[in-house]
Amino acid sequence: MPVGDEFEDAEVTVPSERLRAAGHEVTIVGTEEGGATLRGKRGRATVRVDVAAASAHPPDFEALVIPGGHSPDHLRMDAGVVSFVRRFWETGKTVAAVCHGPQLLIEADVVRGKTLTSWPSIRKDLENAGARWIDREVVEDGNLITSRKPDDLEAFSAAIIRRLERAEARPSS
């Protein structure tokens, strides 16, 4: 989960709690090593960075979950984070983004030809980047899962967990 300062509190805490309850480990990816503490924009949540994006290896993770708030706007200015998102995308594994999270996907240049949703204020940005935007609680297109806002977090988290369970059920090659 790539996270920067001023993340939308619930968009980190709810998916993290649901994923952990389903038996998954959540790793917070930030801009720097050293366990920096990041604050949510509402002041209700803090997280500690586990690993810097520049040293994170996409094959080590099963999914990428990008929360919104102001965090994606900060993170898209960091070349290490953008590179990590692009390299993760190239694995073909699940990529999920909620609210303003797709801003990082735009910066990584991976939304062209995809159908997704987001917070309404970035609709035009997504369309300009070649995506098709629709207003729906959860949109799935290939390996991509997107949602609009905190009210959608239960459905968003459930979609991620379903996808991970399907991936675990597939026989290894």
Answer whether residue 149 is part of any domain: yes
Residue 116's H or E segment, with its range, is strand 115-116
The pLDDT score that the predictor gives to residue 150 is: 97
Q: Whole domain around residue 113: which residue ranges?
A: 9-164
The answer to whether the beta carbons of residues 23 and 45 sit under 8 Å apart is no
Answer whether residue 172 is part of any domain: no
How many domains does the chain fold into? 1
The answer to whether the beta carbons of residues 96 and 86 sit under 8 Å apart is no
- What is d(CA 136, CA 156) in angstroms, rounded to the nearest whole number? 11
Going by pLDDT thresholds of 50, 70 and 90, the confidence category of residue 88 is very high
Answer whether residue 147 is part of any domain: yes
Residue 128's H or E segment, with its range, is helix 123-128
Q: Give Dmax (Cα) for the chain.
A: 45
Tokens of 104: 């990082």
Going by pLDDT thresholds of 50, 70 and 90, the confidence category of residue 172 is low
Q: Does the pLDDT at position 173 exceed 70?
A: no
Answer whether residue 85 is part of any domain: yes
The pLDDT score that the predictor gives to residue 171 is: 66
- What is d(CA 64, CA 162) in angstroms, rounded to the nearest whole number? 14
Q: Does the pLDDT at position 167 exceed 60?
A: yes
Question: Contacts for 20-26 with beta carbons within 8 Å, 24 or more apart?
Answer: 22/161, 22/164, 22/165, 24/62, 24/161, 24/164, 26/1
Answer whether residue 131 is part of any domain: yes
Going by pLDDT thresholds of 50, 70 and 90, the confidence category of residue 165 is very high
Answer whether residue 18 is part of any domain: yes
Q: Which residues are catalytic?
A: 99
Q: Does the pLDDT at position 33 exceed 90?
A: no
Answer whether residue 143 is part of any domain: yes
Q: What is the pLDDT of residues 38-80, one digit of tens each?
A: 999 999 999 999 999 999 999 999 999 999 999 999 999 999 9
For residue 40, the domain's CATH number is: 3.40.50.880
- What is d(CA 150, CA 98) in angstroms, rounded to the nearest whole number? 8
What mean pLDDT is reported for the chain? Answer: 95
Mean pLDDT of 20-46: 93
Answer whether residue 171 is part of any domain: no
What is this structure's pTM?
0.95
The pLDDT score that the predictor gives to residue 9 is: 97
